[in-house]
Chains A and B, each alone.
Chain A
Amino acid sequence: MKKFYYLLVVVGVVGAGVIGWQVMGTKNVVIPANVVVTAGDTAGFQGYIIGSDTAPVTIVEFADFQCPACEDFDTVQWPEVYDNLVATGKVRWIYKDWPIDGAHRYARLAMHAAACADDQGKFWPMKARLFAHQYQWSFGSGQYGKFREYATQVGVDGGPWDACMQSAKYAGRIQASSEEGARLGVNSTPTFLIAGQLYLGVQGSDQLRHTVDSLIAARPAAEGRPSARKAPARR
């Protein structure tokens, strides 16, 4: 009987220890907004780029990982856009962060999680995972752990990723991207900058293909100051 009570105590101590360690080990990472942007924040970084350098058209997407419309674009339209425009060499795609701080409290943390995944060459799969699982992390708690799990699922080494997150080293770069978008006239997400013109809202893959094909047919196109064009509402 005595042995049984010893065993019970050992199990109790081990269980309590493991749970205590999990709770105490909680990472409290905050990615600050409105940081002062320095030249070093954006040195050598023009956004997350995919596609051929010699592609005739460049599309810049300003998006927010917590924005439902961006999720809609990424999960529904992006696979076709990639196959038809990026993979075919027609478009060089640049993804840029544009956090909507008031409404999307975890947007900057998600952006930083993706930036840290990019350190290990995993931005694009991390981006896909963040959008695909937006419903899991947009509400509730435990965002850091969820982002860490997504990162490791796409092949990111958790140790360096943790260090990157703790340092918040990309806070300035995210802010720079936000300020750049604001200067261009971005006021919602997703917004697309194509040949100097802003397209607000979700763009269908067919719309984008039509736009790109028109631009390629009309080359060389003069690029002027961006002007806004509202996309037809999709839903």
Chain B
Amino acid sequence: MKYRMGTALLSLIGFFVATYLYLYKIGKIPGIACGTGGCETVQASPWATFLGLPVALIGVAGYLGCLVLAMIGLQQGRERRHWSDALLLAGATVGVLFTGWLTYAEAYLIEAWCRWCLGSAAIITLLFLSAALGWRSLRPAA
């Protein structure tokens, strides 16, 4: 249960980070508190868009999905695996792989670091670990 809680909390924090980046991307927030100028560079790069969608918006949807799934898991109240746990682990795995690619792009393709993106990368990594450990700790569904 504690892993589901941790996953829910991380999803909520990640949701706000991604929302902040998305609002900046669409101009609703005038400036990004970055300090290095790297956030501007990363957000203006082609890698800030994936399949025509802003990456930050994909993050918003992803974290929101993880939050919903974690909350569904929490409602079960049993120490057994639920379909929501499986979906959460699958989503977190996709998220951590996608973030890994984006971090690679920051390092070697854009050559600029966005602290908020790195923050999100840390959150999705922890979220993945939490989901994976949670899955391991639960008994198989009856």
Looking at A5-13, A32-40, A50-58, A86-94, the stretch in contact with chain B turns out to be: A5-13
Is the beta-carbon distance between A18 and B16 smaller than 8 angstroms? yes
* Contacting residues, chain A, for B52 (C-beta < 8 A): none
* Contacting residues, chain A, for B27 (C-beta < 8 A): 140-142
- The proximity string for A residues 145-163 relative to B, scoring 1 for CB distances below 8 Å and 0 otherwise, is 1101110010000000000
Is the beta-carbon distance between B37 and A153 smaller than 8 angstroms? yes
Task: Tell me what chain A mostly uses at the interface: helix, strand, loop, or mixed.
Answer: helix
The distance in angstroms between the C-alpha atoms of A149 and B5, with both chains bound, is 37
Looking at B7-15, B85-93, B134-142, the stretch in contact with chain A turns out to be: B7-15
Is the beta-carbon distance between B19 and A149 smaller than 8 angstroms? no
Is the beta-carbon distance between B30 and A136 smaller than 8 angstroms? no
Is the beta-carbon distance between A15 and B23 smaller than 8 angstroms? no
Is the beta-carbon distance between B13 and A148 smaller than 8 angstroms? no
- Is A22 close to B, CB under 8 A? yes
- Chain A 115-155 residues near chain B, CB threshold 8 A: 133, 135-136, 140-146, 148-150, 153
Is the beta-carbon distance between B29 and A23 smaller than 8 angstroms? yes
- Is A4 close to B, CB under 8 A? yes
The distance in angstroms between the C-alpha atoms of A109 and B24, with both chains bound, is 19
- Chain B 1-51 residues near chain A, CB threshold 8 A: 5, 8-9, 12-13, 15-16, 19-20, 23-24, 26-32, 34, 37, 40-41, 44
Known: A142-B30, A146-B31, A148-B30. 18 other contacts (CB 8 A): A4-B8, A11-B13, A15-B13, A15-B15, A18-B16, A18-B20, A22-B23, A23-B28, A133-B37, A133-B40, A140-B44, A141-B27, A142-B27, A142-B31, A143-B30, A149-B34, A149-B40, A150-B37
